[in-house]
Amino acid sequence: MIEVKNMDKKYGTNKVLDNVSLKIERGKVTSFIGPNGAGKSTLLSIISRLMDKDSGQVFIDGKELEDWDTKELAKKISILKQFNHINIRLTVRDLVSFGRFPYCNGKLTEEDWQQVDEAIDYMKLKDIEYKYLDQLSGGQKQRAYIAMIIAQDTDYILLDEPLNNLDMKHSVEIMKTLRRLAEEKGKTVLIVIHDINFASCYSDHIVVLCKGKVVEKGGADDILREDLLEKVYELDFCIKDINNNKICLYY
Amino acid sequence: MKLKGKLLFLSIILLVLAALYLIWGLNPDNLDYALPRRVIKLISILMVGSCIAFSTTVFQTITNNRILTPSVLGLDSLYAFIQTFVVFLLGSTMLANLGGDINFILSAGLMVIFSVVLFKTFFSKEKRTVFSLLLFGVILGTFLQSLTTFMQVLMDPNEFFLVQNRMFASFNNINTDILYIAVLGTMVTLIYIFRYTRELDVVSLGRDSAISLGVDYASFVKRMFIVISILVSISTALVGPISFLGLIVVNINRQFLNTYKHKYLIPGSMLISSIMLLGGQLIAERIMNLKTPISIVINFIGGTYFIYLIFKEGRLS
């Protein structure tokens, strides 16, 4: 379980996280939504030790973040950020094999390669596994990065806007994969997402952040309420039930 | 293995050049005089070539940038400043009395302290990119250069000549006093780095991915900065600043080997760098009869290649 207690974070004088406390259940898909600048990405970055917090605590499986050995933690939690720009020429297979680094320190054993193959199959990358990353489309690249995360085989998977720049087909594919990861492999998936309808259809829990505070958390039914979303986004919302999913219109 | 073949190919070229360098023009009359001198020069060239290639490869990996060399940190300027400052304050006799190795250890120590302070001030978890660090390095480098020029203008012309001699890259004027320390220092750093080639591979994915994969990024980058400043001190103290060499070498190497693995990249860059230096020295010394300094040969090729790189990057984006 991931537990966040009284977390504060400031950029200069700008408070991005204001006394945030949260518990994230294992084996579920949890989405973080909220307007730009609400502190979603910052929260994920702090949980995954990419950023330092100002005060508060993060517990991962009951142990405080600072007490974890960084290599051990890399077997527990992984993060994929929005901007993945790299300067080196890598094939998809090379990239995925990096996911095994925490286990074998770069010297991949037979078993590690098996995991790499599995991850490649899982993301349906078999036919492009020897292609270079710079030859791939945005969707394929995103899938390759997710395959690396799968090869890393961590209990917690954090993704910062995984649907950024993807079309509907690829977005749906990615979200379905994340659901499968939670259901079949028991992974705990945390995503920052902007499309509320995707969050509604594919996540078990939704956390709404606004101005650095947790406004509301719960299932899709609790969150997709016109009054709540109108307050958070300052837009007019119209929420409908379609095929047992709450879908909102705000265009 | 294809990559090993390429490395073997480079090693053979280097061996041929080295043999050529030692044997060319040798006859029984000048054997006793020329051979030991040539061996010392050869070792220095290999040392300098390795240090430059090595430090630039690591520097480009931790900055994730292919057009930077450690000289943007202002380390060469700091070296020039230290040398000028000692002569300016204490006189050239003092510099001579100080002895080469003490001078070297002093300069190298100051350069390491300088880069650690620079690192601590400008590279924390909050300031996430190295760019503020690099910018400050450039500014400080220019500042030190101006101070150096200022002192040189005020100096006695004879002492200025001595300082100037140290500021130009030249293999005809190798600081042989420190060759032993240089060889030792390079060996130790090489052995140290070779344990971390896989970490370097991961760091080339970028900061966030490296941390996510369990590399202790801040401490790793700090250690690499220290290693880089030691290597730059060694090569600068041996022959003076050669800024462009690293840039050409590392980029040719990346194109030639076409791999991301530092296990191959580092030896490859060291071989290419030594080949270029040795070839350049052969041209400058034996063909041009010392009329053209090697730094001009290298900077000419380096400048041309740099312009080519900029045009290529421009066309891609």
Q: Check: CB of residue A203 under 8 Å from CB of residue A31.
A: yes
Output DSSP code: residue B171.
T
DSSP-based three-state secondary structure for B265: helix
CA distance A76 to A250: 38
Output DSSP code: residue A204.
S
Q: Is the pLDDT of residue A182 over 60?
A: yes
CA distance B248 to B56: 10
Per residue in B218-227, pLDDT (tens digit) is 889 888 888 8
CA distance B46 to chain A (A): 27
Q: Is the pLDDT of residue A159 over 90?
A: yes
Choose, out of B203, B209, B259, the residue to mutate when testing the contact with A (most A CBs < 10 Å).
Answer: B209
CA distance A18 to A22: 12
Q: Is the pLDDT of residue B305 over 80?
A: no
Closest CA to A112 of A100, A126, A96: A100
Q: Check: CB of residue A238 under 8 Å from CB of residue A226.
A: yes
Predicted pLDDT of residue A79: 93
Predicted pLDDT of residue A116: 94
Compare B300 and B94 and report the one with higher pLDDT: B300
Q: Is the pLDDT of residue A71 over 70?
A: yes
DSSP-based three-state secondary structure for B61: helix
Sequence ranges of the domains in chain B: 3-316
Average pLDDT over residues A126-155: 90
Average pLDDT over residues B32-40: 85
CA A48 → CA A26, A38, A78, A119, B15, distances in Å?
A: 16, 18, 7, 22, 49
Instruction: Nearest by CB to B208, from A50, A72, A89: name it.
Output: A50
Q: Do A79 and B212 touch (CB under 8 A)?
A: yes
Give chain B's contact residues with A (Cβ, < 8 Å): 64-66, 125-126, 197-199, 201-202, 204-209, 211-216, 258, 260
Identity at B290, one-letter amino acid code: L
CA distance B206 to B221: 12
Contacts of A101 in chain B (CB under 8 A): 198, 202, 213-214
Residue A68: closest CA among chain B residues belongs to which residue? B214
Closest CA to B46 of B197, B238, B193: B238
Predicted pLDDT of residue B127: 57
Q: Do A152 and B213 touch (CB under 8 A)?
A: yes
Highest mean pLDDT among A128-137, B26-35, B238-247: A128-137
Q: Is the pLDDT of residue A195 over 60?
A: yes
Q: Is the pLDDT of residue A155 over 90?
A: yes
Give chain A's contact residues with B (Cβ, < 8 Å): 48-52, 70-75, 77-81, 84-90, 94-95, 98-99, 101-102, 105-107, 152
Q: Check: CB of residue A25 under 8 Å from CB of residue A82.
A: no
- Which of A61-75, A120-134, B122-136 bottoms out in mean pLDDT, i.e. has the lowest? B122-136
Q: Do B211 and A86 touch (CB under 8 A)?
A: no
Polymer length of chain A = 251
Q: For tokens 């060469």, name the residue.
A: B76
Choose, out of A82, A98, A155, the residue to mutate when testing the contact with B (most B CBs < 10 Å).
Answer: A98
Q: Is the pLDDT of residue B91 over 80?
A: no
Q: Order across the sheet with A77-80: list the strands.
A: A77-80, A156-160, A188-192, A29-33, A205-210, A213-218
Closest CA to A210 of A41, A43, A45, A33: A33
Per residue in B241-259, pLDDT (tens digit) is 776 688 888 888 888 888 8
Residues 6+ away with beta carbon under 8 Å from B171 = B41, B44, B45, B48, B239, B277, B281, B285, B294
0.95 exceeded by the pTM? no
Output DSSP code: residue A73.
H
Average pLDDT over residues B149-158: 86
Superfamily assignment of B3-316 in CATH? ABC transporter involved in vitamin B12 uptake, BtuC (1.10.3470.10)
Residue A91 pairs in a beta bridge with: A132
CA A207 → CA A17, A50, B187, distances in Å?
A: 14, 21, 54
Per residue in B135-146, pLDDT (tens digit) is 888 898 899 989
Average pLDDT over residues B113-142: 77
